[in-house]
Amino acid sequence: MGQKEVVYVVSDSVGETAGFVVKAVATQFNGGQVDIRRNSYVEDFEDIEDVLLLAVKDQSIIAYTIVIPTLKEYLDRRAQEEGIIAVDLLSPLMKAFEAKFNKEPHHRPGLMRKLDEEYFRKIEAIEFAVKYDDGRDPRGITKADIVLIGVSRTSKTPLSMYLAHQRFKVANVPLVPEVQPPEELFQIPRKNCIGLIISPDKLNEIRKERLRALGLASRANYASFERILKELDHAEKIMKRVGCPIIDVSNKAVEETAGLILDVLKKERSL
């Protein structure tokens, strides 16, 4: 290709998919010297006529990703009448899927973009949970959708990650008698916070196992009943001061506790 050829990319959504495909093909011809002109959110016959006028003038190709059947059929017919090559980038694969899965496609534009947005929200929430895990930075408390508070080994971190996968930004704060809780905890709305409690027996069992796994069985104080009761008493006082809902995590799987957290918050606010 000596000069830059024009390709019109037409879509009833953003048009990124068609743009990528055109670029990929163009690189196989003289280094990809193609002028790609995108026409996004095409939603009626008039929009298609506007593109056709330009394509006829430039004698260019139209590459399109249109999932609305009436628009697709109209573009195919009018392109043929005007002697313009219009390439449907989706239909062959959609027909293969339809035949294979014996299902009708939704024919709704923008579904890929919706999936992408949900994916990036999830990644953002996971990064947030990592950054504001274990009270590392109290500034996360005011930015979080959900703040989890409780003593050590009440599943705060696993719950934060599980809820992050459901696109909630979660910060968690350990409650320790020797450490003053961050002031931010008392500044946020009570509906943003959940207190996690656990039975002394269960916590004793979990902590003993944790010490064994770390080879620190000699640190008996961490798992002693006296220490555990002191921590739980301190945590309960903080939770009452915050005024947050409280959930008992004893003998509950992370998934079950997460479900309870979301149920409690739905009563407090609209999620």
- Which residues participate in the annotated binding site for ADP? 150-157
Other beta carbons within 10 angstroms of residue 50's beta carbon come to 12
DSSP string, 18-85: HHHHHHHHHTTTGGG-EEEEEE----SHHHHHHHHHHHHHHT-EEEEE---HHHHHHHHHHHHHHT--
Which residue do the tokens 């059929």 mark? Answer: 73
3-class state of residue 119 by DSSP: helix
Q: Is 106 helix (H, G, I), strand (E, B) or coil?
A: coil
Neighbouring C-alpha atoms within 13 Å toward the C-beta of 251? 3
Neighbouring residues of 250: CB distance < 8 A, sequence distance ≥ 6: 198, 199, 202
Long-range CB contacts (< 8 A, 24+ apart) of 253-256?
254/155, 254/158, 254/159, 254/162, 255/162
Q: Are 196 and 211 in contact (CB under 8 A)?
A: no
In the block, residue with structure tokens 């999620």: 271
- Binding-site positions read 150-157
**Distance (Å, rounded) from C-alpha 212 to C-alpha 194?**
29
